[in-house]
Structure 1
């Protein structure tokens, strides 16, 4: 194994690690790594990408010793600004065949680049996601402000717990509990506002929209091990959020706070200004929280408004909520992927912020409230509905991407995707 080959393997592994840590799907990570290795003349290479580790094996056909290397992904933090920069670097490596040393230096620059937004703005963006979701679900300025405060308190408490080594499961549970606590206090004080919209807003900021889409994408692409791991991650995140909501609601009911199912907010299926503005704001602020580059923020906001309009129209056509969410997600998946090809950035930069208005925060809260009030059957139905909507969103996003792939011209396609090989199920 030559020195250049070893450096190319190291470069490919490091790029794959950063792509996966920044939120990219397994199929795209594998494709980028293989493209880099082909550029430097390494053909007989196998890659194995899962949620926490990347393994690469090179078996030369001339009798030289085989080489196997691995990198662990120890921290996964969505950073779409870095994701865009990494995709641009991979494209430049494959088009211009940069020398390995120069490519490694450029990669170090990408890894060390300053954050696109200051930390306080990212926190404010996440809290504004809650405020926008509260407005979308019928809350006014007071409810939006309460949702903002609840999310900031939950986020800062989670950071405080993280610094003391507390597991992320409990960080999320505490954040959901704080949002529910503020809503319970508003109901207890009999404030004349839809206080439960605070919970829905806080929940939407915690729901795993990005891992959910990546989970479905990996499953459809045939990456079943990684898809299973991502699904497990999604289940634990949802379980943490549900635990926080359920614990606070059970305590409130036991203490006699007059909480009823009538307190449950439901987003008005309307194209009125408050709902459309809430959807636009949700997409825009979600993009800030995911560190989308400033030049692409507007597309994220417009995507949130578009997906809400498609969802409302689908409901008016008498489609079930799950089918309506899937259809709206498919539209944004198709358009998001088409626009991403045009501007040469990963599709997730546009798609993930846009699906925010569809995330089933209301159904989750309604299910936990019914369970807390003793209506087990209705509570479980609401939780199953929330899970079905979530899976429908993920499926719709990938359906839109696959529809675009089916109709585009095949020029330049050099290999068959593993996901497209027909096995007939066996």
Structure 2
């Protein structure tokens, strides 16, 4: 238990570093707060005050009313989808709480996690993103030639964004504009060739790939669990990134129209025959596994997340068509949330790895592309259709995120007996340790945000 200022400072610094890494890899503010509080209490800093926002973390500890409070802060600078580091930090937190490692050893291991890099080379990530784009076209009903086109576009987009990020350190908005623009221009070139390709599938697939890196899930989780400042920041970041995609695709469509190439949204989003359902299930499952691979998820998770996504796709396809796409996505995403908790527990990974990966096939890439292609025609009838498609994209995103989180709300109480739920916890845990009786470890307290 900390007894002097040096040990108190080391403990606070360790908790802040853990929170920084969790926040930067997509964990919700409620999970970050609960995890930091669990560590602080276990390491002897009972009653530490924690405040989490999207860009900074702070902790204050006062040993007694007469002592001078110790206040420390840390800025959250990096944003990345990195499930390798997220899983490693989650395991480290559990080891600390289980008394398997002391503070000094935990600090050394955390340093190794941060500086140790990844077990997959960067070119393998590009390959995973390209494969994700290609398999999404299969999910959408495209043929093999279009899948190859999407594969090439996806790899090109990733390498371009990586180059622009490292060379000029541009904000995400410009990276999204460039990526979406390249995807559309490659499709325009393919449409000009005598190949008879439905290139709209390729554009839709690459829009979905770029949407996968946007933290919709964390934004809605923060909004539902009372962290409204962080939720607002995350939602704004998601909107800006999506606006970048829209700007890039719109620019490409305008260029296509200027040179006389018409790109129409003729994507088939699935059918009811056994063959079409099978193709959609296989495509969605492969796309999910490819995304998880590109996000550095542990190898042991790839097959389970693919199976979960495949079942979810089958559910969405088999729901009656008159229900509407938004509700079909909602039902399928609730299933993902329901099973993610149990599967993540068996695989020893945070549930966030399962739910974000399982939601990939349902991202509204088709609705966004359809809306933009209709708006580009600039006629009253197509404009109204385009606006409806964009509103549909927004409703699908909301249904997807809220459905997954609702599934988590249902699954965790079922797993640990409803009467033992710790009412102090604001929402379901997607990251962080749980006690054996099912409650959270030190998850009391609420955010100071307003």
Q: Provide TM-score, normalisation by structure 2.
A: 0.89
SS of alignment partner, residue 70 of structure 1: strand
State the match for 2:317 in structure 1. Answer: 312
**Shift of the alpha carbon at 1:59?**
2.8
What is the aligned partner in structure 2 of residue 28 from structure 1?
31
Higher relative contact order (CA 8 A, sep 6+): 2
**CA–CA distance in 2 between the matches of 1:149 and 1:122?**
14
Query: Is the 8 Å Cα contact of residues 125 and 286 (structure 1) preserved in structure 2?
Result: yes
2:359 to 348, 355, 370: 355
Per-residue CA deviations over 1:165-203 (Å, capped at 9, x if unaligned) read: 332211111111111112222223353222110101111
Distance, in Å, in 2 between the alignment partners of 1:78 and 1:419 is: 22
* Correspondence list, 1:178-193, <5 A: 178-193=182-197
Aligned to 1:123: 126
Q: The residue matched to 1:229 in structure 2 has which SS?
A: helix
1:170-185 equivalences in 2 (<5 Å):
170-185=174-189
Structure 1 residues 190 and 85, CA gap change in structure 2 (3 angstroms): same
Q: Secondary structure at the match of 2:51?
A: strand
How is 1:45-64 mapped onto 2 (pairs within 5 angstroms)?
45-64=48-67
Query: Which one is further off, 126-135 or 20-29?
Result: 20-29
- 2:391 maps to 1:384: yes
Q: Name the SS for the 2:58 alignment partner.
A: strand
> Is 1:294 paired with 2:296?
no
- Give the SS at the match of 1:54: strand
- TM-superposition CA deviations, 1:12-68 (whole Å, max 9, x none): 011111111222111111111001100112112111112221111113334110111
Deviation digits for residues 259-282 of structure 1 (CA, Å, limit 9, x no counterpart): 34xx42132134533222211111
Choose the corresponding residue for 1:255, options 255, 259, 275: 259
Cα distance, 1:125 vs structure 2: 0.4
Greater displacement, 10-19 / 21-30 = 21-30
Equivalent position to 2:406, from 392, 399, 404: 399
Q: 2:270 aligns with which of 260, 268, 271?
A: 268
> Aligned pair 1:135/2:138, yes or no?
yes
Measure the CA separation in 2 of the matches of 1:32 and 1:286: 26
Over aligned residue pairs, what C-alpha RMSD do you find? 2.1
Give matches, 1:30-179, under 5 Å.
30-96=33-99, 98-162=101-165, 163-179=167-183
The aligned residue for residue 242 of structure 2 is: 238
Deviates more, 1:27-36 or 1:250-259: 250-259
User: Aligned partners of 1:208, 1:280: CA distance in 2, in Å?
Assistant: 15
Aligned pair count?
Answer: 420
Partner of residue 370 from structure 2, selected from 353, 358, 366: 366
Cα separation, partners in 2 of 1:229 and 1:268, compared to 1, 3 Å: same
1:278 matched to which residue of 2? 283
The CA distance in 1 between the partners of 2:170 and 2:90, in whole Å, is 34
Q: Which moved more, 1:305-314 or 1:390-399?
A: 305-314
In 1, are the aligned partners of 2:41 and 2:47 still within 8 Å (CA)? Answer: no
Q: d(CA) in 2 for partners of 1:323 and 1:61?
A: 53
CA gap 1:122/1:147 in 2 versus in 1, 3 angstroms = same
List alignment gaps of at least 5 residues for structure 2: 429-444
- Change beyond 3 A, Cα 1:175–1:288: same
* Paired residues of 2:200 and 2:263 also in contact (CA < 8 A): no
- Deviations for 1:276-334, whole angstroms, at most 9, x for unmatched residues? 22111111101111110011111121122112111111244x32211110110010011
Give the TM-score of the pair, scaled to structure 1.
Answer: 0.94
1:409 aligns with 2:417: yes
Residues 279 and 304, structure 1, Cα contact 8 Å, conserved in 2? yes
